[in-house]
Homo-oligomer: A and B are copies of this chain.
Amino acid sequence: MNGDLYNIGQAAKASGISAKMIRHYEEVGLLPAASRTFSNYRTYNHQDVHMLRFIRHSRDLGFSIKQIGDLLSLWRDKNRPSSKVKSLAADHIEMLNKKIEELNTMKSELSRLVSCCHGDDRPDCPILDSLSAD
């Protein structure tokens, strides 16, 4: 095998992104169209795999595909002001905080109800009572 080239399966293994998703990212324009072998197989080089890993790390931090597109642009722009990256990341932290708060609200309320419920064989249940309250 050409030491420099990966097919999609190898790129997937090397990057931690499934082949399925690599194709998807290409389709939605997050990735440029991969070059192809004569027999129409996609090929990737080290740089491509590097970019895939960038995407993977970004996904792991919860960035959306749209946001990752912006991050990639900034990454490629060697003259970006770091302030742009920082504010993009800060926005995302805001969104994470909002979601965390929502989930915490749910959790608190539900925990309260659960702690009120006997959880035995009798039918009385403050959880159902609360859900059916007006």
Contacts and interface: CB of A to CB of B under 8 A. Distances in A.
Contacts of A89: 110, 113-114, 117, 127
Counting chain A residues whose Cβ lies within 8 A of the other chain, the interface size class is 35 or more
Contact of A119 (B58, B83, B120): B83
Interface of A: 50, 53-54, 57-58, 60-62, 71, 74-75, 77-83, 85-87, 89-90, 92-93, 96-97, 99-100, 103-104, 106-107, 109-111, 113-114, 117-125, 127-128, 130-134
11 contacts: A54-B131, A57-B131, A61-B131, A62-B110, A71-B131, A74-B128, A81-B122, A90-B114, A93-B107, A93-B114, A99-B103
